[in-house]
Amino acid sequence: MVAAIRVHKFGGPEVLTYEEIEVAAPGPGEIRVRQHACGVNFIDTYFRSGTYPLPFSLPFIAGSEAAGEVVAIGSGVSEFKPGDRVAYVTGLGCYAAERLVAADRAVKLPHPISFEQAAAGLAKGITAEFLLRRTFKVEKGMNVLVHAAAGGVGLLLCQWANYLGANVIGTVGSKDKAMLVKANGCHHTILYREEDFVARVKNITGGRLCAVVYDGVGKTTYPGSLDCLGPLGYFVSYGNASGPIENFNIGLLQQKGSLFATRPATFTYIAKRADLIAITDDLFDAVGKGAVKLDVNQRYALRDAAAAHRDLESRATVGSSILVP
């Protein structure tokens, strides 16, 4: 038996229940992993609360990312062997001391990257990679707006966009967060709970506005985000930390300068194994070059998953959080 965090009914953080579970021997194409650290992501709260539809019925083990050591392999697995260090981003099932994973979802960890760093940064780093390099290609000199810049994905976006030569503007919820993002590559900060972020972006960019807005906040930043874009700019709505955008009006894209809008999801970008490997290689390369750092900002015991969710949802965290089994 191993420890895990199960959800039996949708609700607040209190529905995250610490239990003992059985883990079977790996089936064909599977590996069994002893997990050393589990990543905490905002998407985990959407599944816990029922905001996102479950791909199967209740109960389920929460968590969508982890890192650990392979302890057994199923038939047909040739890429991994016991003892390998791996990490993965999966649908659900990651808040556990051990689990089975489809081998084609795992990547080998390069040695400088620890289990904790991988759990803190793999999902968020993959997201930053495809947002900056694939959804829209950020180039030197572009004005880029990152909402919730002090968050897990936000901090990586700031570092990486800065490395690419962009002029990085970040919105944050407090002065402490503003200091943190400045130390992570953000050139200009906006306290969007106090200041009119659209007016500040106009002022900072001398009226030229931005080539792209990365918006993981959703409800409270829409439609202001569209007003931060210059002609033909890209509205990249990649999350809904404040609630989903309802009644998206496509006519606004025409009125505000022939804008583009997209709602990307990690699972589309890494659905093919070749893409998963290309994106993670690019991420590990960026880490190796020092373009981005995979820091652990908050660390909790696995049994304290509810506290981790409470902190994340109440905007009390910065950067990345992990659970340690």
Ligand X SMILES: NC(=O)c1ccc[n+]([C@@H]2O[C@H](COP(=O)([O-])OP(=O)(O)OC[C@H]3O[C@@H](n4cnc5c(N)ncnc54)[C@H](OP(=O)(O)O)[C@@H]3O)[C@@H](O)[C@H]2O)c1
Residues lying near ligand X in the complex (CB under 6 A) are found at 41-43, 123-124, 127, 148, 150-154, 172-173, 177, 216-217, 220, 238-242, 264-266, 312-313, 315, 317
The per-residue DSSP string of 10-64 comes to --SGGGEEEEEE--PPP-TTEEEEEEEEEEE-HHHHHHHHTSSPPSSPSPEE--S
Residue 135: closest CA among 237, 223, 217: 237
Residue among 103 and 146 whose Cβ is closer to ligand X: 146
For residue 308, what are its two tokens? 């981790």
Are 168 and 161 spatial neighbours (Cβ–Cβ below 8 Å)?
Answer: yes
Residue among 69 and 242 whose Cβ is closer to ligand X: 242
* Least distance (Å) between residue 141 CB and ligand X: 26
Side-chain-facing half-sphere of 243: CA atoms under 13 Å: 5
Residue among 100 and 241 whose Cβ is closer to ligand X: 241
Are 226 and 197 spatial neighbours (Cβ–Cβ below 8 Å)?
Answer: no
Residue among 1 and 277 whose Cβ is closer to ligand X: 277
Residue among 103 and 245 whose Cβ is closer to ligand X: 245
Angstrom distance (rounded) from CA 240 to CA 225:
13
The CA distances from residue 280 to 42, 94, 129, 271, in Å, are: 20, 19, 8, 13
* Least distance (Å) between residue 82 CB and ligand X: 31
* Least distance (Å) between residue 191 CB and ligand X: 9
Residue 212: closest CA among 127, 159, 144, 162: 144
* Least distance (Å) between residue 91 CB and ligand X: 12
* Least distance (Å) between residue 206 CB and ligand X: 25
* Least distance (Å) between residue 17 CB and ligand X: 22
Residue among 77 and 201 whose Cβ is closer to ligand X: 201
* Least distance (Å) between residue 293 CB and ligand X: 15
Are 214 and 234 spatial neighbours (Cβ–Cβ below 8 Å)?
Answer: no
Nearest residue relative to ligand X (C-beta): 151
Residue among 17 and 49 whose Cβ is closer to ligand X: 49
The angle, 0 to 180 degrees and rounded to 10, between the axes of the packed helices 115-130 and 273-288 is 110
Q: What is the DSSP letter of 131?
A: I
